Structure 1
Amino acid sequence: MNLESKIRNIQDFPKPGIGFKDITTLLKDGEAFKEAVDRIVENLKDKDIDYVVGPEARGFLLGAPVAYALGVGFVPIRKPGKLPAEVVSFEYDLEYGTDKIEMHKDSIEEGKKVAIIDDLLATGGTVEAATKLIESLGGEIASIQFLIELEFLNGRDKLKVYDVESIIKY
């Protein structure tokens, strides 16, 4: 199945000059959604994963069904103030400021293998921050999987030490 054809491209969103990759058109197509999840699961099946981690919010949409299919737990990474128990956080730089992500302090045990799943690899900042959070808790990044990669933004450069795979590349 050509999953790229299931992605809607929206020009000048959220601001002029940006070509937004809208995955809602893929998600609403049951066969395409299943195919995308199945491809990620296939990439992970021999990696002995203990947890799937998904950054808010679209990482939830792909990460949770992948965790279910693998029979492992799902751990969300959230924006500040969204998690009720004690958290660890990581602040990272954006092109025009900073952002912060958090996860529960007790979400990953020392030595557990983790797969990070997200919809899009652009500049790599959010996922790089996620790796720092997971590693600060003693987790081992076994793989990072994306539905889409915007290769021209070179986000993969920030993730060179990890196993990184993308299903669709632009």
Structure 2
Amino acid sequence: MDRLKKSLLEAPIIEKEGYHYFVHPISDGVPMLRPELLREIVIKIIRKAELDDVDKIVTPAAMGIHISTAVSLMTDIPLVVVRKRQYGLDGEVSLSQVTGYSESEMYVNDVYEGDQVLVLDDVLSTGGTLAGLTGALEDIGADIRDIVCVIKKADGTNKLDEAGYDAKTLINVQVIDGEVTIVDEHGDD
């Protein structure tokens, strides 16, 4: 994970309403995402995730899409994107997303009772998005086989933990004094 670690250590930090963000190609789409960084991340996800019997990858829009698309291409597992727009399709399920900086509704389509799903996302910070998503997947009756996030902001407890789920991560970081600090370069298993 040399490229991911290096890119995080070089990431600029911005403050928005008292919340410190690192700006990174995986979480923000800027600066430019280099293919070798994405490749490194996808290989690590495939090695770390529990993929046995998974029949769908589920990712929240928007910044999980590029990662999940690459994993889908490498594993031939279909991809479901949880959208911020309601389409009104049969079986559509809404969920509330509450993060450290926003609150909104998201919509799940094409996930059904009995589906074996891998949940993928870019960053685990407050856990609000994934807590809402796992709750919706439970309500649908899907079996969450694994949850993997590329980066974890290790700033304490998060709503995903409170919901009773553990996420595997590739690397854990904190923002301290305006810089990214690597807390665990191997992430959580």
Look up the match of 1:168: 171
| Aligned residue among 32, 35, 39 for 2:40 | 35
Write out per-residue CA displacement over residues 53-101 of structure 1, whole angstroms, 9 at most, x where no aligned residue: 01010111111111221211100101133x3624210124445773211
Write out per-residue CA displacement over residues 99-146 of structure 1, whole angstroms, 9 at most, x where no aligned residue: 211112xx1232121011000000101011111121222111111101
Inter-CA distance 27–36: structure 2 relative to 1 (3 Å threshold): farther
| Aligned residue among 52, 65, 69 for 1:64 | 69
Larger RCO of the pair (alpha carbons < 8 Å, separation 6+): 2
Look up the match of 1:5: 6
Question: Are residue 102 (structure 1) and residue 107 (structure 2) matched?
Answer: yes
Q: Is the 8 A contact 1:89 1:100 kept in 2?
A: yes
Question: For the residues of structure 1 that align with 2:100 and 2:65, how far apart are their CA atoms?
Answer: 24
Task: Tell me the C-alpha RMSD between the 2 structures.
Answer: 2.4
Q: Is the 8 A contact 2:99 2:129 kept in 1?
A: no
What is the TM-score of this pair, normalised by structure 2? Answer: 0.76
Q: Is the 8 A contact 1:27 1:33 kept in 2?
A: no
Please list every run of 5 or more consecutive structure 2 residues that lacks an aligned counterpart in the other structure: 174-189
Deviation of residue 45 (structure 1)? 5.4
| Aligned residue among 41, 49, 57 for 1:52 | 57
Q: Is the 8 A contact 1:92 1:98 kept in 2?
A: yes
Moved more, 120-129 or 61-70: 61-70
Inter-CA distance 38–55: structure 2 relative to 1 (3 Å threshold): same
SS at match of 2:64: helix
Inter-CA distance 92–67: structure 2 relative to 1 (3 Å threshold): same
Give the aligned residue type for 1:129: G
Question: For the residues of structure 2 that align with 1:13 and 1:28, how far apart are their CA atoms?
Answer: 22
Q: Is the 8 A contact 1:116 1:144 kept in 2?
A: yes
Q: Is the 8 A contact 1:37 1:62 kept in 2?
A: yes
Look up the match of 1:22: 24
Question: For the residues of structure 2 that align with 1:4 and 1:72, how far apart are their CA atoms?
Answer: 27
Question: Are residue 91 (structure 1) and residue 93 (structure 2) matched?
Answer: no
Deviation of residue 159 (structure 1)? 4.8
Write out per-residue CA displacement over residues 29-71 of structure 1, whole angstroms, 9 at most, x where no aligned residue: 2111101011111122543211100101011111111122121
Question: For the residues of structure 2 that align with 1:101 and 1:50, how far apart are their CA atoms?
Answer: 22
What is the TM-score of this pair, normalised by structure 1? Answer: 0.84
Question: For the residues of structure 1 that align with 2:152 and 2:128, how far apart are their CA atoms?
Answer: 13
Question: Are residue 143 (structure 1) and residue 122 (structure 2) matched?
Answer: no
